[in-house]
């Protein structure tokens, strides 16, 4: 097997968004649809949280939509595996999970994907290859490396897409995993969603080196930075990394530069950054505005987008209704699913 | 004159086989020269001379087995004073024969744990005509893994030194040769990482056996054992399974100090979603490990370093699987029930034999599985004896004994004729000094004292 280059290739995120569409109008419309679904879903989740219908922690993905949607373009559904941390709603929707089940899990109802027992941070869906939804920061990196190990063990050319954030990138087990992944040439794509804040701590205050794409350098894992507000840039970078992994060349690190518009969780007033900073990103780098611009250039009409908007509105409304109408789990569910009956 | 003594080459070695001499009478040896090869229960080691001088006499012939540590094995002309040779810590790949029996550092002065207890009830599922084969626990565990790996290609072994080194305690001996490096996987020293990797592989449908060199090191990985393996089935509403076995030696070895000498029985046995097994003899080690590997749930399988070399009868039955969750009455008695697991079962049986000489008949219940705990067997026994002593190697507070006592009080309170007592390690980190270590660890004497107290 070819040895991975010791020094990783690096590209810096472009200052300007890509204005050269390299996707068909049909693809662009699909990306638009998926990104709008995530945003509208998350907005309503935030609203339901405010109404007391969603409890506990609730980490919204608004602002980061282009990452999950761009990555998903390389996922072979039902074959590849996806794993992430606690900010997982966007990944699940992009993976193809039913918005009704996701929303009903948020409200803790029996119709939820975990039958109400997991909540926001702990959802799973085997048919779409979504392996969670993990609440312990960084745990998904070792687990995801294990998903990749299983793919290599079976020799089925599947790939594991392992999402984590800039915060998790300082956990020790991330590097334990990098070492094994490269040592055994495991088909793991490590996607670091660098939204620049680990809860309230900016990357500059938490990380001795902030070029997270280079965090695999001492293990010989190549990496690159990607503009995470540009769905096409994400799609293209992931595609290359996946081809490499499927060919048995081992793991790859994509540091996807993104931004979350909301606080870390619903209870976070986000006072560690200025309103101007957030507004500037929303105004100049919003991933949905970006895809809209690409669609305009591809001669998509307002009417076409309006049709999608309305469709999404209906899907989210249906999810919200389902999540409120689905009953709470029966008390008898308390003791189910603790063990698999042998 | 200087005597060269049989060296102790591991914390638990009490004796070994002097496989080869590289010197003979009349030779002159220099410090650092390899003079002999000694086989322990773990490895074959080269022994270097510490002192210089002419070899006057070889005192123990090549090929001698069961040579006790500190026995003079050769004599040098030269300055006076005994000198122990320095072991050259280099294990050889060739597999040693597991012949070790008693071990040093035993707090109970190495009680004869090697002798099969006189009264032992057989599992009912073992046919009366089954052939019994003397097998060390080490080999019983290896056989269990090998059989399950032959049976199911999703089963693989991963951990530190499990492959090329053949296992730090030689439990995985010859597995690499049979199954190859795809299924017997040496890891870096990275417990947190490889435990998580194992759980991820299990979620993806494989059946990993994760070996920890000791469970003391698994504390670095405990997040994945509990948060990732034990809870995910529940959190996923039954969708994601983690059929994985975490196994390795648990509890105190000998003179290795507090960080390497902890019993985690109670820690893991508290966690819903895990099954926890702590076998005593080789038959259970084999039959329960096979059951653990087949179980669709995460299983913590606690072995004992001091017992790997002990031999017990193992029935020669095709596919010998012992059900998880069943305690075993190892000795019947009418006066007092002693519950124990893992190594403490041996001490309980010895205590019972001594007490029988004084007319006290103990019933010894080997818990075997700590989660789920076989409450029925314990309660039935106490209903018969009306007295209870629990014995465990770990600390007392919030321990296995505390749980056993609570269940007995809940289910058999009216049958009790005396307050139950718990035997356990003293409530301190395990000390290094031999005398303090012996004071801290529970053993036969403490069990006897507790039984006499509940009989008083």
> B337: domain CATH number?
3.40.50.920
**B108 part of a folded domain:** no
> Given its phi and psi angles, is residue B450 left (phi above 0), alpha (psi -120 to 50 degrees) or beta?
alpha
Last residue within a domain, chosen from B88, B110, B145 = B88
Q: Are residues B213 and B308 in the same domain?
A: yes
Chain B residue numbers touching A117 (CB-CB < 8 A): 234-237
Q: In the prediction, which pLDDT does B122 show? A: 57
Q: Among B392, B378, B381, which residue's Cα sits nearest to residue B423? A: B392
**B97 part of a folded domain:** no
**Rounded Cα–Cα distance for residues B286 and B137 (Å):** 8
Q: What is the 3-state secondary structure (H, E, C) of A292-319?
A: HHHHHHCCCCHHHHHHHHHHHHHHHHHH
Chain B residue numbers touching A148 (CB-CB < 8 A): 200
Are B289 and B369 in contact by the 8 Å Cβ rule? The answer is no
Catalytic residue, chosen from B15, B224, B260, B437, is B260
**Rounded Cα–Cα distance for residues A273 and B273 (Å):** 41
**Rounded Cα–Cα distance for residues A295 and B174 (Å):** 62
**B321 part of a folded domain:** no
Which helix (H) or strand (E) segment is A160 a member of? Answer: strand A160-165
Q: In the prediction, which pLDDT does B123 show? A: 66
Are A75 and A238 in contact by the 8 Å Cβ rule? The answer is no
Q: Do A122 and B188 touch (CB under 8 A)?
A: no
Picking from A123, A137, A163, A339 by the largest number of B CB atoms within 10 A of its own CB, the best residue to mutate is A339
Alpha helices in B316-391 (DSSP H): 344-357, 375-385
Nearest to A143 among B199, B241, B243 (CB): B199
Nearest to B234 among A136, A183, A338 (CB): A338
**A13 part of a folded domain:** no
Interface contact A180, partner B, CB < 8 A: yes
Chain B residue numbers touching A83 (CB-CB < 8 A): 200
Across A35-64, average pLDDT: 95
Q: In the prediction, which pLDDT does B91 show? A: 41
Instruction: Specify the number of domains making up chain A.
Output: 1
Q: Are residues B205 and B261 in the same domain?
A: yes
pLDDT digit string, tens, across residues A244-275: 999 999 999 999 999 999 999 888 888 899 99
Nearest to B234 among A113, A139, A337 (CB): A337
**Rounded Cα–Cα distance for residues B339 and A161 (Å):** 48
Catalytic residue, chosen from B148, B160, B161, B191, is B191
Q: Do A143 and B224 touch (CB under 8 A)?
A: yes
**A264 part of a folded domain:** yes
Last residue within a domain, chosen from B53, B88, B123 = B88
**B448 part of a folded domain:** yes
Strands A252-257 and B64-68: unpaired
Please give the residue of chain B at the shortest CA–CA distance from A110. Answer: B237
Q: pLDDT at residue A19 above 90?
A: no
pLDDT in tens, chain B (456 residues): 888 999 888 777 888 899 999 999 999 998 888 999 998 877 788 888 888 889 999 999 999 999 998 999 999 987 554 454 545 444 443 333 333 333 333 434 334 444 444 445 556 567 788 899 999 999 999 999 999 999 999 999 999 999 999 999 999 999 999 999 999 999 999 999 999 999 999 999 999 999 999 999 999 999 999 999 999 999 999 999 999 999 999 999 889 999 999 999 999 999 999 999 999 999 999 999 999 999 999 999 999 999 999 999 999 999 999 999 999 999 999 999 999 999 999 999 999 999 999 999 999 999 999 999 999 999 999 999 999 999 999 999 999 999 999 999 999 999 999 999 999 999 999 999 999 999 999 999 999 999 999 999
**Rounded Cα–Cα distance for residues A61 and A39 (Å):** 8
The Cα of B317 is separated from the nearest Cα of chain A by a number of Å equal to 22
Q: Are residues B156 and B277 in the same domain?
A: yes
Are B286 and B319 in contact by the 8 Å Cβ rule? The answer is no
**Rounded Cα–Cα distance for residues A291 and A29 (Å):** 9
The DSSP call for residue B197 is H
Polymer length in residues for chain A: 342
Q: Which residues of A are catalytic?
A: 260, 264, 272
Are A287 and A71 in contact by the 8 Å Cβ rule? The answer is no
**B111 part of a folded domain:** no
**B322 part of a folded domain:** no
Alpha helices in chain A (DSSP H): 25-50, 65-72, 89-95, 99-106, 139-154, 172-183, 203-206, 231-246, 275-285, 287-297, 302-325
Chain B residue numbers touching A115 (CB-CB < 8 A): 237-238
Residue B60 to residues A249, B4, B73: CA-CA distances in angstroms?
Answer: 56, 10, 5
Last residue within a domain, chosen from B315, B341, B364 = B315
Q: Are residues B251 and B208 in the same domain?
A: yes
**B287 part of a folded domain:** yes
Instruction: Name the interface residues of B facing A (CB cutoff 8 Å).
Output: 156, 182, 187-188, 190, 192-206, 223-224, 227-228, 232-241, 243, 272-273, 275, 294-297, 324
Nearest to B236 among A118, A180, A339 (CB): A118
Residue-range definition of the domain harbouring residue A66: 25-324
Which helix (H) or strand (E) segment is B369 a member of? Answer: strand B369-371
Chain A residue numbers touching B196 (CB-CB < 8 A): 139, 141-143, 145-146, 173, 177
Is B424 catalytic? The answer is: no
Q: Are residues B402 and B349 in the same domain?
A: yes
**A252 part of a folded domain:** yes
CB proximity list for B338: less than 8 A, separation 6 or greater: B348, B351, B352, B362, B363, B364, B365, B388, B389, B390, B391, B447, B451
**Residue matched to tokens 């780098």:** A285
Query: Please, which residues bridge with residue B412 across strands?
Result: none
Measured in whole angstroms, the distance separating CA A265 from the mean position of its chain's CA atoms is 16
**Rounded Cα–Cα distance for residues B414 and A54 (Å):** 48
Q: In the prediction, which pLDDT does B80 show? A: 54
Residue-range definition of the domain harbouring residue B351: 328-455
Q: CATH number of the domain at A97, please.
A: 3.40.50.970
Please provide residue A302's backbone torsions phi and psi, each rounded to the nearest 5 degrees: -55, -40
CB proximity list for B24: less than 8 A, separation 6 or greater: B55, B58
Q: Are residues B185 and B210 in the same domain?
A: yes
The Cα of B223 is separated from the nearest Cα of chain A by a number of Å equal to 8
**Rounded Cα–Cα distance for residues B182 and B153 (Å):** 11
Which helix (H) or strand (E) segment is A226 a member of? Answer: strand A223-227
Q: Are residues B294 and B407 in the same domain?
A: no
**A302 part of a folded domain:** yes
**Rounded Cα–Cα distance for residues A260 and B153 (Å):** 44
Q: In the prediction, which pLDDT does A15 show? A: 45
* Three-class secondary structure of residue A239 per DSSP: helix
Those of residues 255-274 in A touching chain B at CB distance below 8 A are: none
Q: Radius of gyration of chain B from Cα atoms? A: 23
The DSSP call for residue A122 is -
A and B: number of Cβ contacts within 8 A = 149
The DSSP call for residue A191 is E
Q: CATH number of the domain at B251, please.
A: 3.40.50.970
Which helix (H) or strand (E) segment is B388 a member of? Answer: strand B388-395
Between B11 and A336, residue with greater pLDDT: A336
**Which ipTM score applies to this complex?**
0.91
The Cα of A265 is separated from the nearest Cα of chain B by a number of Å equal to 20
Q: Are residues B51 and B178 in the same domain?
A: no
**B277 part of a folded domain:** yes
Q: Are residues B203 and B257 in the same domain?
A: yes
The Cα of B221 is separated from the nearest Cα of chain A by a number of Å equal to 10
Please give the residue of chain B at the shortest CA–CA distance from A173. Answer: B193
Q: Are residues B173 and B294 in the same domain?
A: yes
Q: pLDDT at residue A204 above 60?
A: yes
pLDDT digit string, tens, across residues A96-154: 999 999 999 999 999 999 999 999 999 999 999 999 999 999 999 999 999 999 999 99
Which pTM was predicted? Answer: 0.89
Angle at A334 between CA B409 and CA B374, to 5 degrees: 35
**Rounded Cα–Cα distance for residues B215 and A146 (Å):** 21
Q: Are residues B78 and B223 in the same domain?
A: no
Across A297-314, average pLDDT: 96
Maximum CA extent, chain B: 77
Those of residues 280-339 in A touching chain B at CB distance below 8 A are: 336-339
Q: Are residues B163 and B198 in the same domain?
A: yes
Instruction: Specify the number of domains making up chain B.
Output: 3
Query: Please, which residues bridge with residue B328 across strands?
Result: B366
| B305, two tokens | 């370093």
The DSSP call for residue B87 is E
**Rounded Cα–Cα distance for residues A128 and A126 (Å):** 5
Angle at B235 between CA B296 and CA A179, to 5 degrees: 75
Helices (H) and strands (E) in chain A, counts: 11, 8
* Three-class secondary structure of residue B453 per DSSP: helix
The Cα of B243 is separated from the nearest Cα of chain A by a number of Å equal to 9
Q: Among B47, B1, B44, which residue's Cα sits nearest to residue B22? A: B47
The Cα of B206 is separated from the nearest Cα of chain A by a number of Å equal to 7
Please provide residue B53's backbone torsions phi and psi, each rounded to the nearest 5 degrees: 150, 180
């Amino acid at each position: 097997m070819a040895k991975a280059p010791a020094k990783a290739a690096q590209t810096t995120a472009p200052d300007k968004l890509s204005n050269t569409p390299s996707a068909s109008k049909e693809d662009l419309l699909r990306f638009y649809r998926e990104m709008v679904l995530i945003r509208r879903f998350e907005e309503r989740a935030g609203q339901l949280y405010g109404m007391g219908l969603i409890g506990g922690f609730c980490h919204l993905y608004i602002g980061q939509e282009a990452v999950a949607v761009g990555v998903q373009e390389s996922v072979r559904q039902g074959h590849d595996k996806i794993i992430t941390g606690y900010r997982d709603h966007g990944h699940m929707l992009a993976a193809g999970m039913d918005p009704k089940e996701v929303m009903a899990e948020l409200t803790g109802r029996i119709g939820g994907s975990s039958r109400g027992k997991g909540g926001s941070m702990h959802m799973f869906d085997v048919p779409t290859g979504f392996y969670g939804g993990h609440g312990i920061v960084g745990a998904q990196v070792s687990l995801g490396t294990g998903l990749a190990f299983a793919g290599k063990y079976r020799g089925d050319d599947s790939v594991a897409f392992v999402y984590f954030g800039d915060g998790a990138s300082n956990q020790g087990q991330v590097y334990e995993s990098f070492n094994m992944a490269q040592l055994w040439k495991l088909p793991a794509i490590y996607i670091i969603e660098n939204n620049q804040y680990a809860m309230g701590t900016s990357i500059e205050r938490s990380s001795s080196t902030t070029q997270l794409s280079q965090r695999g350098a001492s293990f010989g894992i190549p990496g690159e930075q990607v503009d995470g507000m540009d769905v096409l840039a994400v799609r293209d970078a992931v595609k290359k990394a996946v081809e490499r992994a499927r060919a048995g060349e081992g793991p790859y690190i994509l540091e996807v530069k993104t931004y979350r518009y909301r606080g870390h969780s619903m209870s976070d007033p986000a006072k560690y950054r200025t309103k101007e900073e957030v507004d500037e990103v929303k105004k100049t780098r919003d991933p949905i505005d970006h895809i809209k611009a690409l669609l305009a250039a591809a001669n998509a009409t307002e009417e076409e987008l309006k049709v999608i908007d309305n469709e999404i509105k209906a899907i989210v409304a249906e999810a919200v209704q389902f999540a409120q109408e689905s009953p709470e789990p029966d008390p008898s569910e308390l003791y189910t699913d603790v063990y698999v009956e042998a | 004159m200087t005597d060269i003594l049989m060296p102790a080459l591991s914390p638990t070695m009490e004796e070994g086989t002097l496989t080869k001499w590289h010197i003979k009478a009349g030779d002159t040896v220099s410090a650092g020269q390899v003079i002999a090869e000694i086989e322990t229960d773990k490895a074959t080691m080269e022994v270097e001379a510490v002192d210089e001088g002419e070899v006057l006499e070889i005192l123990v012939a090549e090929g001698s087995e069961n040579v006790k540590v500190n026995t003079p094995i050769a004599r040098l002309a030269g300055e006076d004073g005994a000198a122990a040779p320095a072991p050259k810590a280099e294990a050889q790949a060739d597999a040693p024969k597991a012949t070790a029996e008693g071990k040093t550092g035993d707090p109970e002065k190495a009680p004869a744990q090697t002798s099969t207890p006189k009264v032992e009830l057989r599992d009912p599922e073992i046919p009366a005509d089954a052939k019994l084969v003397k097998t060390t626990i080490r080999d019983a565990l290896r056989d269990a893994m090998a059989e399950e790996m032959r049976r199911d290609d999703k089963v693989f072994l991963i951990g530190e030194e499990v492959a090329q080194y053949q296992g730090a305690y030689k439990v995985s001996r010859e597995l690499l040769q049979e199954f190859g490096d795809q299924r017997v996987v040496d890891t870096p020293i990275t417990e947190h990482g490889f435990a998580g990797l194992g759980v991820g592989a299990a979620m993806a449908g494989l059946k990993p056996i994760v070996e920890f060199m000791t469970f003391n090191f698994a504390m670095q990985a405990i997040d994945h054992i509990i948060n990732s393996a034990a809870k995910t089935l529940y959190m996923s509403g039954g969708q994601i399974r983690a059929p994985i076995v975490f196994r390795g030696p648990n509890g105190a070895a000998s003179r290795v100090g507090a960080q390497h000498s902890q019993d985690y029985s109670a820690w893991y046995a508290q966690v819903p979603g895990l099954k926890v097994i702590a076998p005593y003899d080789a038959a259970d080690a084999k039959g329960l490990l096979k059951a653990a590997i087949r179980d669709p749930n995460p299983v913590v399988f606690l072995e004992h370093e001091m017992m790997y070399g002990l031999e017990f009868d193992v029935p020669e039955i095709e596919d010998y699987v012992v059900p998880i969750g069943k305690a075993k009455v190892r000795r019947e008695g009418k006066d007092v029930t002693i519950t124990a697991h893992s190594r403490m079962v041996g001490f309980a049986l010895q205590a019972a034999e001594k007490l029988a000489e004084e007319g006290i008949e103990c019933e010894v219940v080997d818990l075997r599985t700590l989660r789920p705990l076989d409450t029925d067997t314990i309660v039935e026994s106490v209903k018969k004896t009306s007295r209870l002593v629990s014995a465990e190697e770990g600390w007392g507070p919030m321990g296995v004994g505390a749980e056993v006592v609570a269940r007995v009080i809940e289910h058999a309170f009216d049958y009790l004729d005396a307050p139950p007592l718990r035997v356990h390690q003293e409530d301190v980190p395990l000390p290094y000094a031999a005398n303090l270590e012996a004071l801290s660890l529970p053993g036969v004497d403490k069990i006897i004292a507790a039984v006499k107290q509940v009989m008083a």
